[in-house]
Structure 1
Amino acid sequence: MGHAQRRLVSTAARLATSVHASNIKVFPPREALAGPSASSNTKTKTPSPTPSKPTFFSAETWAALQPPSTAALSTFIHRIGLATTVTSTDVIQQACTHPSYIPLFEHHNPKEPVPASNANLAALGNSLLGLFATEYVNATFPHLPTRVLKAAVSAYVGPTTCAHIATEMGAQPLLRWNRTPNTPTRPAVLHADAMASIPRALTAAVYQQHSLAAARKFVHRFFLSRDVDLRSMIKFRDPKLALRETVAKFGRERPVSRLLKETGRYSLTPVFVVGIYSGAEKLGEGFGSSLKMAEFRAAEDSLLRLYLTRQPPHLVQLPSSTFSSGVGDIFTAKGNAVGSYTPGTMADSEVLYGSSGKTGLRVPGARTRAVTEVEEGLEELQ
Structure 2
Amino acid sequence: MGYVQKRLASTAAKLAVSPSHVYDLSKKAVASSSRDFFDAQTWAALQPPPESAVTAFAHRIGLAEVLGSADVVRQACTHPSFLPLHAKHHPNQPQPTTNANLATLGNSLLGLFATEHVNATYPHLPTRVMKAAVSAYVGGTTCAAVAKEMGAAPLLRWHRMPNTLTRPAVLYPDALSSVPRALTGLVYKNRSLLSARKFVQKFFLSREIDLRNMIKFRDPRMTLLYTVQKFGREPPKSRLLRETGRFSNSPIFVVGIYSGADKLGEGFGSSLKMAEYRAAEDSLHRLYLTRQPPHLVQLPTSAFPSGRGNIYEASGPEGSYVAGTIADSEVLFGSSGRTGAVMPGRHTIEGDEEGDIEDIL
Q: TM-score band, normalised by the shorter chain?
A: over 0.9
Structure 1 position 55 matched with structure 2 position 36 = yes
Deviation track 1:54-102 (CA, whole Å, cap 9, x = no partner) reads: 3221111101001011221111111001123222221111000000111
Q: Who is 1:304 aligned against?
A: 285
Superposed counterparts of 1:56-205, under 5 Å: 56-205=37-186
1:61–1:95 CA distance, 2 compared to 1 (3 A): same
1:298-337 residue pairs with structure 2 within 5 A? 298-337=279-318
Aligned partners of 1:121 and 1:205 also within 8 Å: yes
Match 1:231 to one of 212, 219, 227: 212
| Shift in CA distance, 267/318, structure 1 to aligned 2, threshold 3 Å | same
Distance 1:225 1:356 in 2: 33
Q: TM-score, normalised by structure 1?
A: 0.89
1:345 corresponds in structure 2 to: 325
Label 1:288 to 1:358 Cα distance change in 2 as closer, same or farther (>3 A).
closer
1:379 maps to 356
| CA apart distance, 1:12 | 3.7
Give the whole-Å Cα distance in 2 for the aligned partners of 1:361 and 1:88: 61
Letter paired with 1:278: S
Partner amino acid, structure 2, of 1:341? Y
| 2:26 counterpart of 1:26 | no
Q: CA deviation at 1:32?
A: 1.2
Please report how far the alpha carbon of residue 27 of structure 1 lies from its aligned counterpart in structure 2 after TM superposition. 6.5
Name whichever of 11-20 and 215-224 sits farther off.
11-20
Conserved 8 A contact 2:243-2:253: yes
Deviations 1:179-226 (A, max 9, x none): 111112111111111100000000000000000010000000000000
2:3 corresponds to which letter in structure 1? R
SS in 1 for 2:331: coil
RMSD after superposition: 2.1
Q: How many residues align?
A: 359
Question: In the alignment, which of 270, 273, 287 is matched to residue 268 of structure 2?
Answer: 287
Amino acid at match of 1:243: L
Distance 1:207 1:358 in 2: 42
Any unmatched runs of 5+ in structure 2? Answer: none
Alpha-carbon offset, residue 21 of structure 1: 4.1
Distance change >3 Å, CA 315–CA 378, structure 1 → 2: farther
Instruction: Give the Cα separation in 2 of the matches to 1:179 and 1:149.
Output: 33
Asked whether the 8 Å contact 2:188–2:196 carries over to 1, the reply is: yes
CA distance 1:356–1:267, shift in 2 (3 Å) = farther
1:15-62 deviations in whole A, cap 9, x for unaligned? 523233435642653221123xxxxxxxxxxxxxxxx77322111110
Task: Mark the CA change 1:59 to 1:356 in structure 2 (over 3 Å): closer, same or farther.
Answer: farther
Instruction: Identify which range, 70-79 or 163-172, moves more after superposition.
Output: 70-79
Q: CA deviation at 1:380?
A: 3.5
Question: TM-score, structure 2 length as denominator?
Answer: 0.94
> Once structures 1 and 2 are overlaid, which stretch shifts more, 224-233 or 351-360?
351-360
Contact 2:266 / 2:278 at 8 angstroms: preserved in 1?
yes
Check 1:59–1:25 CA distance in 2 against 1; reply closer, same or farther (3 A cut).
Answer: closer
Q: Distance in 1 between matches of 2:132 and 2:341?
A: 21
Query: Quick one: structure 1 residues 139 and 292, their matched pair in 2 at CA, closer, same or farther if it must change by over 3 Å?
Result: same
CA distance in 1, matches of 2:201, 2:334: 31
Partners of 1:13 and 1:176 in 2: how far apart? 18
Structure 1 unaligned regions, length at least 5: 36-51
Cα distance in 2 for residues equivalent to 1:359 and 1:211: 48
Distance 1:355 1:364, change over 3 A: closer
What is the SS of the residue equivalent to 1:85? helix
In 1, Cα distance between equivalents of 2:339 and 2:123:
19
Q: Quick one: distance in 1 between partners of 2:184 and 2:23?
A: 35
Write the distance in 1 (CA, Å) between the matches of 2:96 and 2:357: 73
Secondary structure of the residue that 1:259 maps to in structure 2?
A: strand
Q: 1:55 to 1:76 in 2, by over 3 A?
A: same
Structure 2: distance between partners of 1:8 and 1:220: 45
